[in-house]
């Protein structure tokens, strides 16, 4: 029953991703592309931001699987330097273990058609310690970058029943983050969660805002790191 509820909720999220840009994140703190040069956006043909992602080298972007499976990737381009430069996608794939009902393995890799030398971020190889702080960077309704401070909650703790989720909801490829400021809301899927200068998560799903005791759920990058490295070298 819980799963059914979640799956119909996720379909609502998927249906709404296209409109999220009209809303954008609220409550974040203004930041700059210079502070997060590795962040990129996935944009549709109309220039609307549909997802976030990050550069892990000059040609490779990591984002969520939902961004490629819910959109036609041939219609997407990558905005670098907060959209100042737009680059086409040469190749892409998402984790074939991605399941849009459970949202496990919500990770994808894109290869850019041109190399960009703006900055990269390292992938976490270990899940962050429960309780450490992190920052989600995403866009507000005017496409300005904002930071949302979160307290990271480990996979086990998040599914323990202490929050809104059970262990059947929070799988090994996920971790959680509770917004420190409970008014924060609305990050685009694929937006990065960074802690200690490493990419530890990507915005994946949640019951709404990721606050008020309902943590946002992220792809756990440490659990996908070997898939990312192997896949990037195969594309």
Ligand X SMILES: *[C@@H]1O[C@H](CO)[C@@H](O)[C@H](O)[C@H]1NC(C)=O
Query: Which residues of this protein are in contact with ligand X, per CB under 6 A?
Result: 44-46, 48, 90-91, 234-235
Query: Least separation, in Å, of the C-beta of 33 and ligand X?
Result: 24
Give how far the C-alpha of residue 149 lies from the chain's centroid of Cα atoms, to the nearest Å.
Answer: 15
For ligand X, the closer of residues 16 and 235 by Cβ is 235
For ligand X, the closer of residues 11 and 18 by Cβ is 18
Query: Least separation, in Å, of the C-beta of 68 and ligand X?
Result: 13
Burial bucket for residue 151 (CB in 10 Å: 0-12, 13-18, 19+) = middle
Query: Least separation, in Å, of the C-beta of 62 and ligand X?
Result: 16
Spatial separation of the C-alpha atoms in residues 53 and 135, rounded to whole Å: 14
For ligand X, the closer of residues 70 and 163 by Cβ is 70
End-to-end CA distance of the chain: 39
Spatial separation of the C-alpha atoms in residues 27 and 76, rounded to whole Å: 28
Are 138 and 188 in contact by the 8 Å Cβ rule? The answer is: yes
Strand partners, 150: 134, 179
Spatial separation of the C-alpha atoms in residues 76 and 9, rounded to whole Å: 25
Query: Least separation, in Å, of the C-beta of 20 and ligand X?
Result: 12
Query: Least separation, in Å, of the C-beta of 44 and ligand X?
Result: 4
For ligand X, the closer of residues 101 and 235 by Cβ is 235
For ligand X, the closer of residues 77 and 145 by Cβ is 77
């Amino acid at each position: 029953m819980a799963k059914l509820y979640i799956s119909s909720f996720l379909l609502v999220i998927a249906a709404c991703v296209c409109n999220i840009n009209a809303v954008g994140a609220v409550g974040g703190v203004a930041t700059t592309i210079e502070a997060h040069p590795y962040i990129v956006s996935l944009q549709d043909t109309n220039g609307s931001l549909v997802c976030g992602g990050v550069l892990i080298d000059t040609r490779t972007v990591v984002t969520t699987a939902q961004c490629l499976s819910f959109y036609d990737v041939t219609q997407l381009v990558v905005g670098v330097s907060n959209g100042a430069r737009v680059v086409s996608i040469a190749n892409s794939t998402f984790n074939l273990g991605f399941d849009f009902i459970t949202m496990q393995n919500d990770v994808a890799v894109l290869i850019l058609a041109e190399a960009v030398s703006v900055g990269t971020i390292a992938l976490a190889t270990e899940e962050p310690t429960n309780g450490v702080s992190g920052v989600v960077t995403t866009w507000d309704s005017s496409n300005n970058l904002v930071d949302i401070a979160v307290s990271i909650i480990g996979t086990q703790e998040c599914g323990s029943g202490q929050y809104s989720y059970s262990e059947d909801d929070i799988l090994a490829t996920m971790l959680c983050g509770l917004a420190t400021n409970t008014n924060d809301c609305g990050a685009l899927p694929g937006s990065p969660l960074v802690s200690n200068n490493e990419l530890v998560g990507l915005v994946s799903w949640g019951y709404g805002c990721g606050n008020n005791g309902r943590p946002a759920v992220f792809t756990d990058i440490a659990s996908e790191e070997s898939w990312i490295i192997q896949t990037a070298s195969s594309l």
